[in-house]
Structure 1
């Protein structure tokens, strides 16, 4: 093993990732002992970039099944532990110590990492399983949005790490890549034909339409997801995200009555989920109802009081319990005509380097 590197095989599957793959490789190169790259048919400069970086890659014929390609990459790994990372992702610079801690524990359980999805309006934070021991007991299942299984079942025990991976695949430019979107939808439809009653697949279809701003289609699949989950005894961890994403679809479609009912139901399940209150506050601004104007202040004050989401089971928009809530309180007081309080809240928000708050201050609105 190279001195200073960890006994980890980083496994990546790529196809036409010339815009991302170099940053991905450079982020993991100083950390892991082995990098396994499986190319499923790149037609751009992805392979040339890998060659330039002296990274060996393995050709694999694409067969419309992500899990098969993913499992092939695992079969090539030789190190005791595996880190799965995508080409449009980057490992945060302080990752060595976090990964070292996981390895030193000699855990036989897989580990979750913090995934920061960078979008045009900020950052959405979630947790995903990306690290696990290298043995044949672990494999991926599902032709798309593949899930890691242990002996064919979901692993009940989980190790939580503070490892951060930055994901850049949700930018407007990436979303506008209709070919990739259509491929994902086609694969989901194919899998849904064989598993129509799968809440997880209906959820993933809803999320795909949601990310691509096809909100009515997303709403239909979110409704199907909740219907299928109605008779489930133990709710899966993604249910909180179903409520939140479904709610944003209703917001964008201006279906405020349905949104209010959904948020009320969701808060019964997740009373400390700051994002739900923030979503409601944004909807109050959007609907512009005079009779609910005072409630705007109360909701964003509650968001700030709750703070950023503490449960690691929740997907969250960064800032809903801090700078975004403060900014919206500034907007509230600006509309109210209280320029001193507006400036105070904008200034507090700006301490987080939140661009809209900085712009408000620079505009000298108060």
Structure 2
């Protein structure tokens, strides 16, 4: 873990790994509250670290002290799912993979308690074998990097991580947007920087409701990937059309979203955006088809960042609205009942 002034959050995080991990390594970058004391109460080893505006360097510093066979990395505003975590010992004993991806539930909204239906789900590599020279890369939004001689296969497992760091109260208190933009601008100044930097800058502006800047940077990211001969990742198109919908720029979103769907035909969020755009344009028959496609795809595709509900209750809701507009009242009522039932799970 990397921490600084996490006294409000860290106890919950460390409680969630109690009985699961054999050692806790905390890299502290200058806490002035009781973070270090709380960590020590959980048996953690605390290593002071001079912050260098580089998350990967700090994480790799922590790795240098790890002695166990496996590394689990978390942030203080996260916790392992109470039920799922008990499956970890068996999973680690059985797997042949060197790296495991866990589903991270990113909650959004104002503050806690969270609404369990307000989240984005994405699988991220959070567990990997130690002593294989696996390191972190990137100044911010750090990723696990596997040496070329290491098997690159990543196994997905169903041990969830709950992440609360995108709640508005937390981002405001920690000035995360300002910090992230500062680090991203440093990366942007590097001539060989990855197009992911433009995407992450766009995301920060989007979260701050600065949609014009967000749209400019996400388009720059798309172009940069294409110029490198790479297909722009699905996240870029998800963000682009989220911005267009948020700004009610339906003419800019339709029919160009069809091209994004051709690239990622199994991405439920893009089909949901298409359905919403068509619904707002009063094209109810075509909109209905899109929401039925969402229900067919569901929300279990581990390749994508998925907004909870786009393959279940949100899709049922809009399907019901479309059916109402088409005069199919009984079918609409059945769709709304399915919406209610899916909210229960």
TM-score (normalizing by structure 1): 0.84
Q: How many residues align?
A: 337
Shift in CA distance, 159/99, structure 1 to aligned 2, threshold 3 Å: farther
Gaps of 5+ in 1: 1-11, 356-366
Given that 2:102 and 2:158 are in contact with CA atoms closer than 8 Å, whether structure 1 keeps it comes out as yes
- The verdict on how the C-alpha distance between 1:41 and 1:65 changes in structure 2, with shifts beyond 3 A counting, is same
* Offset at residue 49 of structure 1 (A): 2.8
C-alpha distance in 1 between matches for 2:60 and 2:215: 33
State the distance in 2 between where 1:252 and 1:303 align: 20
Indicate which of 69, 73, 85 corresponds to 1:80.
Answer: 69
Residue 321 in structure 1 maps to residue 317 in structure 2: no
CA distance in 2, matches of 1:155, 1:220: 37
Partners in 2 of 1:112 and 1:101 — Cα distance? 12
- In structure 1, the residue matched to 2:146 is 150
User: Partner residue of 2:114?
Assistant: none
Aligned to 1:258: 252
State the distance in 2 between where 1:154 and 1:342 align. Answer: 53
Task: State the partner residue of 2:130.
Answer: 134
In the alignment, the residues of structure 1 paired with residue 149 and residue 221 of structure 2 have an alpha-carbon distance, to the nearest angstrom, of 21
2:18 to 25, 29, 53: 29
Q: CA deviation at 1:36?
A: 0.9
SS in 1 for 2:215: helix
Match of 1:57 in 2: 46
Q: Does residue 351 in structure 1 map to residue 345 in structure 2?
A: no
Change (3 A) 1:19 1:346: farther
Which of residues 36, 44, 50 is equivalent to 2:33? 44
| Distance change in 2, residues 1:99/1:126 (3 Å) | farther
**Cα offset, 1:280, TM superposition:** 1.7
Structure 1 residue 212 and structure 2 residue 208: aligned? yes
- Cα pair 2:123 2:156 within 8 Å, conserved: no
Structure 1 residues 331-346: aligned runs within 5 Å? 331-333=321-323, 340-346=330-336
**Cα-Cα RMSD:** 2.5
2:8 counterpart of 1:19: yes
Q: In the alignment, which residue of structure 2 is the partner of 1:240?
A: 234
Q: Is the 8 A contact 1:274 1:309 kept in 2?
A: no
Structure 2 CA distance for aligned equivalents of residues 337 and 175 of structure 1:
45
Indicate the residue corresponding to 1:5 in structure 2. Answer: none
1:66 lines up with 2:55 in the alignment: yes
After TM superposition, give the deviation of residue 231 of structure 1 in Å.
Answer: 3.3
Unaligned runs of 5+ in 2: 110-116
Q: 1:233-254 deviations in whole A, cap 9, x for unaligned?
A: 4547xx1111111110111122
Q: Partner of 1:358 in structure 2?
A: none
Residue 287 of structure 2 aligns to a residue whose secondary structure is: helix
Q: Deviations over 1:38-59 (max 9, x none)?
A: 1111233323432444434221
CA distance 1:274–1:133, change in 2 (3 Å) = same
Say if 1:273 and 1:309, in contact at 8 Å, map to a contact too.
no
**Corresponding residue for residue 330 of structure 1:** 320
Q: CA, structure 1 residues 117+153, in 2 after alignment: closer, same or farther (shift >3 Å)?
A: farther
**CA deviation digits over 1:143-163, x for unaligned, max 9?**
111122223899732222222
Mapped to 2, the partners of 1:99 and 1:279 lie a distance apart of: 40
Q: Which runs of 4+ in 1 moved over 6 A?
A: 152-155
